Amino acid sequence: SNFPDLSQALIKTNLPEKLDGLIGVARVQVKHPSHYFGFLPYKHEGKLLFPTGVFTGTWSLNELAFAVKYGVKVIKTSYVILFPQIRNPFTEFVDYIYR
């Protein structure tokens, strides 16, 4: 299967400095500056919020990379789960079609 295998996941307690291109999730506490709206979704009492300020949640590394790029600071990391890159499942099919 081409899906990430949990047995191959790397579990860490520190967030890598460079998040771009990594596949995984992290549970972190963040400090979000006051903007018109927040970048990171947060579910509270059944409602989806986009808060600013200090809060904790679990997000994909893509979401965190975007938020950090625009000023969100990671205060504390509980855990990070990194998955290995997988090959594109359509590569062989596309090569076959174009031959």
- CB neighbourhood size of 27 (10 A): 14
Q: What is the reported pTM?
A: 0.73
- The encoded tokens of residue 33 equal 């500056």
pLDDT given for residue 8 in this prediction: 57
Give the DSSP letter of residue 46: T
Q: Note whether residue 26 is domain-resident.
A: yes
Closest C-alpha among 70, 79, 69 to residue 29? 79
How many distinct structural domains can be found in the chain? 1
Q: Note whether residue 12 is domain-resident.
A: yes
pLDDT given for residue 4 in this prediction: 53
Give the DSSP letter of residue 93: H
Closest C-alpha among 81, 58, 65 to residue 18? 65
* Residues of the domain holding 51: 6-98
Give tens-digit pLDDT for 11-64: 767 777 777 777 889 999 999 998 778 899 989 999 999 999 999 999 999 999
Q: What is the CA radius of gyration of the chain?
A: 17
